[in-house]
């Protein structure tokens, strides 16, 4: 262990606990009020640009994915009240949740059944648009439904898209790229579940399997792609496009809350909890939400104890300069969507003034929460997603945050949103195995 890391273990209590694989609730001391934000890497105009691009593609998406007919080609998920889950958490875990508890069901997002259907699909669409416009085959004012024609599939088939993944990103990139006509290669880390590899292969995607972790799969994928001028690499470690695809969720959620007549203001704070792997998805969603609600939304990331890379990166300020292996933990977790040992190079820096904190959770508890949600609300989400409830299980720390933020008097009117990030595509036999795990 290098001396620097030792220093952090000695001086940052959250890092010391993480090194012992204990659950941690880290409150971000660098969070700033909106008036002091100076974010330059991305801008609100970038979110608008991403939202407009998704709108341009809506006629195409509606044409090729029948499940998007009802939404007119917009990939969005339900926001559902889960009062019985709130009671369950309060009863079984002394969570002390006041106000409403809602579930944002990205677990059921169309096309690929996870939050990656936001960022992953967005990045593929953006790449396709750039290629087609550059070749003079498409204008922004065209009806993009033409992209479904064989001529375009032929055009895209000259190009390759590659990505490294623990599973869900590969599913989104793979399904979308293959639909457009691209050749696709997904580099899957050891954590990836068999059924995800099988499903991708059935859609004509080339899946390369690695005996190594996520960072290794990404590195190999990037190398392969860089060696081929016709290949594009979706770089989860650095991608601004992925981040912006996720950030579009902010305004969409605002519309849903308005439709449910749920106010968000200083007297009605919004608390949002999002499972975190490399950081792109929760970072993008957080950025989108903070842009809409400013100081009235409080965003938390949640991670498995074995793969708490974002907490380490942010608590030490080293960001991608530290990995879980550096503090002697293995990065191995059943929460495959979160099995990342080193955080994104740019997300932690962008969200530094925005994020409220990060809670970590033991793998075994994820299964208990999964069964709890299924029993109380009849909703199945995958174990990774259940990390969204982590902060409630360390209620003293959450309460401490509320106290520091001066919100005690208004918590009875608060809304909490647990962001369910994956689940609908999990096959029945795998669901049953999850349901029977650890009991």
Ligand X SMILES: *Cc1c(COP(=O)(O)O)cnc(C)c1O
The answer to whether 89 contacts ligand X (rule: CB under 6 A) is no
137 DSSP 8-state letter? S
Among 221, 245, 275, 341, binds ligand X (CB under 6 A): 275
Stretch that binds ligand X, among 22-30, 141-149, 247-255, 270-278 (CB under 6 A): 270-278
The answer to whether 245 contacts ligand X (rule: CB under 6 A) is no
Minimum CB distance to ligand X, residue 195 (Å): 14
Among 282, 304, 331, 372, binds ligand X (CB under 6 A): 282
Among 99, 164, 174, 280, binds ligand X (CB under 6 A): 280
Minimum CB distance to ligand X, residue 124 (Å): 15
Judge contact between 179 and 204, C-beta under 8 A: no
DSSP string, 239-291: -HHHHHHHHTHHHHHHHHHHHTT---BTTB-EEEEEE-SSSHHHHHHHHHHHH
Minimum CB distance to ligand X, residue 337 (Å): 3
Among 250, 331, 341, 422, binds ligand X (CB under 6 A): 422
Residue among 264 and 388 whose Cβ is closer to ligand X: 388
Judge contact between 379 and 373, C-beta under 8 A: yes
Environment class of residue 420 by beta-carbon count within 10 Å: exposed (0-12), middle (13-18) or buried (19+)?
buried
Stretch that binds ligand X, among 108-116, 288-296, 312-320, 366-374 (CB under 6 A): 108-116
Instruction: Please give the Cα distance from 185 to 273 (Å, whole number).
Output: 32
* Cβ neighbour number for residue 237 with a 10 Å cutoff: 21
Residue among 73 and 120 whose Cβ is closer to ligand X: 120
Residue among 27 and 340 whose Cβ is closer to ligand X: 340
The answer to whether 168 contacts ligand X (rule: CB under 6 A) is yes
The answer to whether 276 contacts ligand X (rule: CB under 6 A) is yes
The answer to whether 114 contacts ligand X (rule: CB under 6 A) is yes
User: What region does 418 belong to: left with phi over 0, alpha with psi -120 to 50, or beta?
Assistant: beta
Residue among 62 and 123 whose Cβ is closer to ligand X: 123
User: What is the size of the binding site for ligand X (CB under 6 A)?
Assistant: 20
- Residue 11: both structure tokens together: 């001086």
Q: Please, which of residues 354-393 interact with ligand X by CB under 6 A?
A: 382, 384-385
Provide the 3-class DSSP secondary structure of residue 9: helix
The answer to whether 279 contacts ligand X (rule: CB under 6 A) is yes
62 DSSP 8-state letter? H
Instruction: Please give the Cα distance from 247 to 225 (Å, whole number).
Output: 27
Judge contact between 359 and 300, C-beta under 8 A: yes
Instruction: Please give the Cα distance from 288 to 267 (Å, whole number).
Output: 21
Nearest CA to 282 out of 212, 431, 384 is that of 384
Residues 332-351: x where in contact with ligand X by CB under 6 A, - otherwise, as a string: -----xx-x-----------
Among 61, 207, 244, 278, binds ligand X (CB under 6 A): 278
- Residue 18: both structure tokens together: 């993480």
Write out the residues near ligand X by the rule CB under 6 A: 114-116, 168, 275-282, 337-338, 340, 382, 384-385, 421-422
């Amino acid at each position: 262990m290098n001396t620097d890391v030792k220093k952090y273990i000695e001086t940052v209590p959250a890092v010391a606990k993480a090194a012992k694989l204990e659950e941690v609730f880290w409150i971000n001391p660098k969070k700033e009020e909106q008036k002091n934000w100076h974010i330059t890497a991305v801008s609100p105009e970038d979110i608008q640009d991403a939202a407009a691009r998704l709108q341009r593609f809506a006629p195409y998406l509606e044409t090729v994915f029948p499940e998007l007919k009802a939404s007119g080609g917009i990939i969005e998920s339900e926001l559902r009240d889960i009062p019985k889950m709130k009671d369950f958490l309060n009863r079984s875990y002394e969570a002390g949740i006041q106000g409403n508890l809602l579930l944002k069901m990205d677990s059921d997002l169309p096309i690929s059944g996870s939050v990656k259907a936001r960022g992953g699909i967005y990045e593929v669409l953006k790449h396709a648009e750039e290629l087609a416009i550059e070749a003079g085959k498409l204008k922004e004012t065209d009806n993009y439904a033409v992209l479904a024609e064989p001529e375009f599939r032929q055009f895209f088939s000259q190009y390759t898209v590659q990505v490294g993944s623990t599973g869900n990103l590969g599913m989104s990139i793979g399904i979308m790229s293959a639909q457009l006509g691209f050749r696709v290669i997904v580099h899957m880390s050891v954590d990836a579940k068999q059924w995800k590899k099988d499903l991708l292969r059935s859609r004509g995607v080339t899946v390369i399997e690695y005996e190594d972790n996520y960072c290794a799969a990404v590195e190999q994928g990037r190398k392969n792609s860089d060696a081929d001028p016709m290949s594009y690499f979706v770089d989860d470690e650095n991608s601004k496009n992925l981040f912006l695809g996720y950030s579009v969720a902010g305004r969409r959620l605002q519309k849903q809350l308005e439709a449910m007549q749920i106010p968000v203001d200083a007297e009605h704070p919004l608390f949002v909890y999002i499972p975190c792997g490399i950081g792109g998805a929760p970072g993008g969603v957080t950025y989108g939400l903070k842009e809409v609600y400013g100081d009235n939304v409080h965003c938390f990331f949640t991670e498995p104890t074995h793969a708490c890379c974002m907490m380490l990166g942010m608590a030490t300020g080293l960001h991608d300069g530290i990995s879980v292996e550096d503090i002697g933990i293995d990065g191995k977790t059943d929460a495959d969507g979160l099995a990342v040992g080193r955080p994104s190079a740019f997300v932690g820096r962008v969200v530094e003034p925005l994020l409220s904190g990060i809670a970590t959770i033991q793998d075994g508890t994820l299964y208990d929460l999964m069964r709890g949600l299924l029993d109380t609300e009849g909703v199945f989400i995958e174990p990774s997603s259940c990390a969204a409830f982590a902060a409630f299980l360390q209620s003293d720390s959450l309460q401490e945050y509320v106290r520091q933020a001066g919100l005690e008097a208004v918590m009875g009117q608060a809304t909490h949103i647990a962001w369910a990030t994956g689940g609908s595509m999990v096959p029945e036999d795998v669901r049953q195995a999850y349901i029977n795990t650890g009991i």
